[in-house]
């Protein structure tokens, strides 16, 4: 399934193209080091090469073609700067039509409502355009920023998944927020 390009008031949500290399590289150059355990460190300069970027594009295209992972890169409309990504990863198609919803905004752009704005556009895209019936955002129980975003965009808090994710050398609990067409459409309207 092919992804569409989406626009919001401040953002453009689309796949990378080769000419985005300089925007991608710049984002890694200006990002601050990880601010907490949920943040990502920028790539080191030696990994911000055209070769690495082309490999990233090819992986994203292969995953999309195989219906495994759909990535929308988030760009500011005003400047064209690359500021993060939203992804929808297929968990299982028939009979459940389930996918995982992930979101990440580069730390220097956090706190401006970009994740919320992008998700309000892409949750309906995942449910309707990609034809998933259930999107799950599975979040660490102490990732309060991500939980706040999930609540603000109208995801339904399903509950705690006990011993769900293996990290830090142990199985940890996660909180599940979900969207289905029935739940999401009754909770919030997309921009």
Whole-number average pLDDT of the chain: 93
Q: Is 126 helix (H, G, I), strand (E, B) or coil?
A: helix
Domains and CATH numbers, the chain: 6-187 (3.40.630.30)
Q: Quote the distance between the C-alpha of residue 28 and its chain's center.
A: 17
Q: Compute how many other C-beta atoms are within 10 angstroms of the C-beta atom of residue 151.
A: 13
Q: What is the pLDDT of residue 185?
A: 74
Dihedral of alpha carbons 74, 60, 57, 18, sign: negative
pLDDT at 55: 97
Which among 110, 124, 106, 95 is positioned nearest to 189, based on CA atoms?
Answer: 124
135-174 tens-digit pLDDT = 999 999 999 999 999 999 999 999 999 999 998 899 999 9
Q: What is the largest CA-CA distance in the chain?
A: 47
Q: Please give the model's pTM, rounded to 2 decimal places.
A: 0.91
User: CA nearest 103: which of 125, 75, 74, 129?
Assistant: 74
Sheet hosting strand 82-92, strand order edge to edge: 6-7, 11-14, 69-76, 82-92, 98-105, 134-140, 170-179, 156-167
Tens-place pLDDT, residues 54-108: 999 999 999 999 999 999 999 999 999 999 999 999 999 999 999 999 999 999 9
Under the banding of pLDDT at 50, 70 and 90, the label for residue 190 is very low
């Amino acid at each position: 399934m092919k992804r569409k390009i989406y626009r919001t008031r401040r953002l453009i949500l689309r796949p990378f193209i080769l000419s985005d290399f300089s925007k991608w590289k710049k984002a890694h150059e200006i990002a601050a080091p990880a601010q907490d355990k949920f943040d990502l460190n920028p790539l080191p300069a030696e990994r911000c090469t055209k070769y690495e970027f082309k490999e990233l594009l090819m992986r994203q295209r292969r995953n999309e073609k195989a219906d495994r992972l759909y990535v929308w890169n988030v760009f500011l409309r005003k400047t064209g700067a690359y500021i993060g990504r939203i992804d929808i990863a297929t968990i299982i198609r028939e009979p459940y039509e389930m996918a995982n919803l992930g979101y990440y905004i580069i730390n220097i752009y956090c706190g401006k409502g970009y994740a919320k704005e992008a998700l309000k556009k892409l949750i309906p895209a995942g449910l309707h355009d990609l034809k998933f019936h259930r999107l799950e955002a599975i979040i660490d129980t102490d990732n309060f920023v991500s939980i706040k975003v999930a609540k603000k965009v109208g995801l339904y808090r399903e509950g705690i998944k006990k011993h769900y994710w293996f990290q830090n050398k142990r199985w940890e609990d996660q909180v599940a927020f979900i969207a289905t067409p029935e739940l999401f459409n009754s909770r919030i309207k997309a921009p």
